[in-house]
Amino acid sequence: MATEPNNSLKSIKRESNQSAVEMKFVGLHRQKPPHITLMFDITLRNHRSAPRWFILPYSLSPGFKYEKSGGVYGVSIFGFEGKGKVIVGRFHGTDNFQALLLPAGADIKLRNFPIEYWGEIPNDSLPLEVVTATNLTIGSQTARAWFGRDPTSDKRADVTQQQLQALGSRFTPDSHELPVLIVEESRLKLNICLTQNTSTMGT
């Protein structure tokens, strides 16, 4: 006997085939040498049934390799408005990074999202990593506490850098660095093309 196709299973399969991270290089702004701001269009998807942190680089340099060697001393919190809202925490210090908390099933787009670069950028491609995590702690406190608000972004959003708003900040006394604990779920490696208008998916 013929059966009706299970549309819910088709939806799950289609979502599982979509990468958790897609990035496309869209331009750059040269600052005072050797400082360059690279701009990306980024899609982030949380396929899990619970919230996940997405950890992106804050600044890069030639030969950069993320290794915990210090900590962070503060965070600047920004809201990106558009179709929905995305909240980003930019953590400052030796182990600087950018963090977003996405709810279960989230699918968001960040347009013209900045990542700082120090040095001469490669001619063809730029390797970087995006980490997803089940928990993020700064010193003895959760990252949620550091935000001082609910840091969860909307489940669906399409926002741009031009609609950025400063929401607040927090810093330690005397810029004392605190250790960062990231409970990693996955580490997605990307190789971003800098010469063509193509997207790169995390693997």
Domain ranges of the chain: 19-61+70-194
What does the DSSP 8-state code read for residue 122?
P
In the prediction, which pLDDT does 40 show?
95
**Whether pLDDT at 17 is above 70:** no
Angle at 121 (CA atoms; ends 64, 177), nearest 5 degrees: 35
Whole-number Cα distances in Å, 70 to 1, 133, 177, 178: 64, 19, 7, 8
Predicted structure pTM score:
0.86
Q: Which tens digits make up the pLDDT trace of 104-129?
A: 999 999 999 999 999 988 888 999 99
What is the pLDDT averaged over residues 185-203? 81
Residue 69 CB partners (closer than 8 Å, separation 6+) = 94, 95
Q: Which tens digits make up the pLDDT trace of 45-83?
A: 999 999 999 999 999 887 655 555 679 999 999 999 899
